[in-house]
Homo-oligomer: A and B are copies of this chain.
């Protein structure tokens, strides 16, 4: 499961790793919470939605985008609050959580840590064999996180094994 955390829009995706580097799309969506609702209640709505996804798809692992300090302060803080709530839902189900920075995801998926949104969307569409590009951007980002983990997990496991 890939999660692009956000309070206004949170991208969610589920993929299935197949033979070699093949990755199959299972589900993708965006959870929105109304900006006029109180922060704590927005977090509750988000948490409820993500827990429903986790119950429905029972993912083996969750890949979440690591939140950085960039852009509008209150947006960053809301994203960090949202991310905390999402990680909690995974932890409560004993689902391992892996964090990836945006540039790690770009590098893994497109080979270029500075790929733009258009390039990323094109790559994800091709990798997953989708008939049309995933929209909105948060949905594509969630898929990219999931693909990134599928491709990096075997390498991460090997690295751990040699330590």
Contacts and interface: CB of A to CB of B under 8 A. Distances in A.
B91 A43 contact: yes
A84 interface: yes
A87 interface: yes
Interface string A36-71: 001111011001000000000000000000011100
Copies of the chain in the assembly: 2
A108 interface: no
A69 B71 CA distance: 12
Contacts of A87: 39-40, 43, 81
Size range of the interface on A?
20 to 34
Contact of A84 (B43, B68, B69, B73): B43
A97 interface: yes
A82 B81 CA distance: 7
Instruction: Give the 9 A-B residue pairs with the shortest CB-CB distance, closest first.
Output: A81-B84, A80-B80, A84-B84, A44-B91, A40-B91, A40-B87, A40-B97, A43-B88, A84-B85
24 contacts: A39-B87, A40-B88, A40-B90, A40-B91, A43-B84, A43-B87, A44-B88, A47-B88, A47-B92, A67-B77, A67-B80, A68-B73, A68-B77, A69-B69, A69-B76, A77-B80, A80-B80, A80-B84, A81-B83, A81-B87, A82-B84, A84-B84, A84-B85, A85-B88
